[in-house]
Every structure is written in C-alpha cells, then in structure tokens.
Amino acid sequence: MTLREQSADLPATSALEHVLLTPGPTPIHPEAMKALTRVMLGHMDPEVFKMNSAIQHDLRVMYGTEPEAFTALLAGTGSLGMEAGFANLVEKGDDILVCTNGSFGRRMAEMAARYGANVRLVTAPLGEAINPADVAAHLDGVQMVAVVHGETSTGVLNPVPEIAEIVRHSGALLTVDAVTTAGMEPFYMQDWEVDYAYTGAQKCLSAPPGLAPIAVSERAFARYAARKTPTPLWYCDFEGLRDYWIEHTYHHTIPVNLHFAFEAALRAALEEGLPNRQQRVRQMGRAIVTSLAPLGFSHYVKREQDRLPTVLALRLPEGFDDAGVRAELRKREISVTGGLGPTAGVIWRLGLMGESARPAPYRALMMALEDILGADGLMRRYEAALEAQGL
C-alpha cells in the first residue's frame, strides 16, 4: 500500500505525500522531521543552551560572519527578522535608503517608515536588479541602507557585494534580507561588511517555519547601544536576546521543538557543504529550463547576472492557462506558485531552495505536466537534462 492509499481516508489536505515547489516554504529536511519528535525540554535546560550555542556557531558559518558576531533565532518567520532589524537600528527621523525592486523591498520600506524613518527609495524596473550607482547617488546623510539580496517576487538577485562596497565608505549601516540566499548562495557578511542579516527557517534550510535566524555585527550593536530611546519592539530587543542567548537568563520561552528541527537542518546543510548546495541549485535550474523551454517557457529575468538561482522565475508560454494548470497540479498534490501583482498570470516562480532543489520533486512536476499538457517527451528530456548536469 502506498502512502497515498494509506491516507485515502484523510481529507486531501492531509495527504502524506505532497510535492512542495513553492518559493518557500520548502519540504522539511528528513533530519529536521526526525528532530521534531524529540522529547520536549525546557527553554532553560542546560542541554538546550548547549544546542543554542551550536546553532549560533553554525549560523556564523552560514552567514560568513566575524567570530564575535551575534547570531540568534527569533521566534517568528522571516518578516520578524526584517522587523527586528528596523526596530533595533532605526530611530525616529533617521534617513534610511531602501532598495525596492519588488514586494519584499517594499515591505522593508514600510517597516522602516513605521519605526519613524525618513525613507528614500531606490528602484529598478520589474525583473531587473538594483543599479549600485543609484545607491551611490542617494547615499548622502543616510544612516542605513537596506536591500533584499534575492527578491522572491520577481526572481531577481540584487548585487549586494557591489552595493556593500559603496555603503562601506559612507558610514551607513547595511541591512541585507538574506531570506532566499543564506544557506544556499554565496553570503559573506564579514567580507562584505553587512551589519544585519536575517532569513527564515523554511526557505533555504528546509526547516519548519516559525524561526528567523539573524546575525548582528559589532558595529550594529554599537549603533543599538547609542539609541536615545529604547527599542519599541520589546520581544526582539537586542539586549533581551543577548540576555537569553549569552547570559542564559529568562527573556521569553523559545519554541524548543523548532530549535531541535532547525539545528538538524542547519547541520545537514553545513555537512553537505555550502559550495555543493550552490552547485546543486544551478544544476537543477539548468535541467528544468532545458526541459521546459521547448514548451515555450523562458527566463523572466533577462540579464543572466540578475537571475536568482534559488527562485526560478519563468515566463509562461503564450496562451497558457496558468490558474487551470496549477489547479490540476494541486489535485495531484503538487504546489506551484505563480506571479505576484503585475506578474500574476505571466510567470511561475519555481522554488529551488533547500530540499526542493532535488531531481525527485521536479520529476513529479514533469510527469504531471507531460500528462496535463499532453507534452510528449517532457519526462525523457528531463531525465536527459539531469544526466547532462551530472545529477
């Protein structure tokens, strides 16, 4: 009996097998799944503090920070990581420059404004990366620059190393949204001199949603320490986080079980090796594009260097029934995400983060598409493309 048959008496939404190809959340890593069932411990347990130290160490490796950088997990999703940065590092009246070439950049701008910042925007046409020269042109008097590394809404990779080079000489802090990059794409917090970075557990690390791993530079801590007013967000106040993560005193109850799963997922990522993960994403991306191109799918992001490898944005073929095909896929327990706002009905955004960047889940997609679209030869093309990529 297959898992699917065993679950036949459950409603469809409880199916035991589901192919999650969304740009987050991603399928949970098997080691993380196992860790979720560990016996519960208290948040002040010595074993939990030991685990937290191991997580902090592994996060420094993942983000490429200096050895003194503060790392921690926030009890919330990636957006809490974003909000905590602005809450702790922005004060009323600060001038903040936000790069906004997609919906997550706009979310950053909105948050910065809510914490009292005067927000300056640098934008780029949809599907294009931010031009570092535009950042340079608006940098005068700015206390912080904020940029999304991989813009999930359009599949665009912003040139963070080049932007960082410009910001470095200005004295401004640099906040980077690393949600679709850290753990899967090159990310060098120390070399680039990034001051605050965050991601979400359910993206590149394939851990359950509900944790936001953050990294804070010493420079950012100094800025925080010089605040004239306390951080308005008590729950994520850097000092409160330090009390728990370093001094081991109570601040709030951390979600211990999520920490178990996160520790296992992060360990598995580092054991696989970050360069191997970068290679895996690229090989999978090429195999998928090679397979789908004859059906009329093409890269949405025109310039190759602007393409985010972990979120493959593909323009749909002429006359393609986006909603209809995705509904058919969902009936077969396959989730695919379309565009957002102006790109709705125009693109698909295929997730290649963490465990979704594997041959098997995309084999399920190709098999289903061959059937739904009557696309003879799609499976054969996919298998050949995988082989050509050495997968």
Ligand X SMILES: *Cc1c(COP(=O)(O)O)cnc(C)c1O
Question: Which positions ≥6 away from 293 have C-beta within 8 Å?
Answer: none
Residue 26 beta carbon to ligand X: minimum distance, rounded to whole angstroms: 11
Question: Which spans of this chain sit near ligand X (rule: CB under 6 A)?
Answer: 24, 77-79, 82, 104, 148, 150, 152, 177, 179-180, 200
- Under 8 Å between Cβ of 178 and 197: yes
Which residue, 180 or 206, is less far from ligand X as judged by CB? 180
Burial class (CB in 10 A: 0-12, 13-18, 19+), 91: middle
Which residue, 77 or 389, is less far from ligand X as judged by CB? 77
Which residue, 116 or 209, is less far from ligand X as judged by CB? 209
Which residue, 84 or 378, is less far from ligand X as judged by CB? 84
Which residue, 74 or 378, is less far from ligand X as judged by CB? 74
By beta carbon distance, the residue nearest ligand X is 78
Which residue, 33 or 340, is less far from ligand X as judged by CB? 340
Residue 89 beta carbon to ligand X: minimum distance, rounded to whole angstroms: 17
The secondary structure of the chain in percent helix, strand, coil, rounded to multiples of 5, reads 45, 15, 40
User: How far from the centroid of its chain's Cα atoms is residue 246's Cα?
Assistant: 26
Residue 55 beta carbon to ligand X: minimum distance, rounded to whole angstroms: 18
Distances (CA, A) of 302 to 125, 129, 156, 356: 12, 10, 10, 24
Which residue, 230 or 341, is less far from ligand X as judged by CB? 341
Residue 86 beta carbon to ligand X: minimum distance, rounded to whole angstroms: 13
Residue 152 is given by DSSP the state T
Residue 133 beta carbon to ligand X: minimum distance, rounded to whole angstroms: 23
**Packing angle of the helix pair 359-373, 322-331 (nearest 10 deg):** 120
Residue 306 beta carbon to ligand X: minimum distance, rounded to whole angstroms: 15
Spatial distance between the Cα atoms of 387 and 391, rounded to a whole number of angstroms: 6
Residue 20 is given by DSSP the state E
Which residue, 212 or 254, is less far from ligand X as judged by CB? 212
Spatial distance between the Cα atoms of 196 and 216, rounded to a whole number of angstroms: 5
Residue 77 beta carbon to ligand X: minimum distance, rounded to whole angstroms: 3
Task: Give all strands of the β-sheet with 173-177 in edge-to-edge order.
Answer: 70-74, 212-216, 196-198, 173-177, 144-148, 95-100, 118-123
Distances (CA, A) of 350 to 206, 224, 238, 251, 344: 15, 38, 35, 39, 14
Residue 269 beta carbon to ligand X: minimum distance, rounded to whole angstroms: 17
